[in-house]
A and B are shown apart, each in its own frame.
Chain A
Amino acid sequence: GAVVSQHPSWVICKSGTSVKIECRSLDFQATTMFWYRQFPKQSLMLMATSNEGSKATYEQGVEKDKFLINHASLTLSTLTVTSAHPEDSSFYICSAKGQGYSNQPQHFGDGTRLSIL
């Protein structure tokens, strides 16, 4: 089945630093990738939609200058949390959607747990 790899799986860093998270589709080409955030005991919330070769579309309330998204190839999207602060600590999850039929499901990575001290 479709495999999406996310790296790193866990990161701790100091307040004020920037953190980059990678999302790769390993066995299919992903024209669209999605980034979600999940706080403890809550459901996933979509942050942004990333289409290969174009600017990401951010959901209302998500700061585009804070969460930089790059989708430079059909197999890789990156999320950079800039100048991270403790309130950015969360579980960040990416998903990828392949080419072909429009009803193709999204496949998710295993998430990145980000802790800002």
Chain B
Amino acid sequence: DSGVTQTPKHLITATGQRVTLRCSPRSGDLSVYWYQQSLDQGLQFLIQYYNGEERAKGNILERFSAQQFPDLHSELNLSSLELGDSALYFCASNLAGTNTGELFFGEGSRLTVL
């Protein structure tokens, strides 16, 4: 158990809809990262937050947004969903500003868009 919690574990929705994925980082971790994993794109970094502020952006679509709240949990919002958004979405956390960059991953949220 990494200590990172993601909900929901599975989500099935239709094209055009909007969903919210939630992540609670490990206790004490200030930084949260979101990744998308799909068969054709592999593991793609989406966005990083540190103590409530956006710190780095990767291959995140404009239809996607994220935020980190004062209690450090984070949400990834996916809107106007397309079939190609079907993927496993991972959240990871670390203390940041440290160290080695080592990440602790949640179990992921599997999104299926029909």
Q: Are A and B associated in one complex?
A: no
Residues of chain B touching chain A, judged by Cβ–Cβ distance below 8 Å, are: none
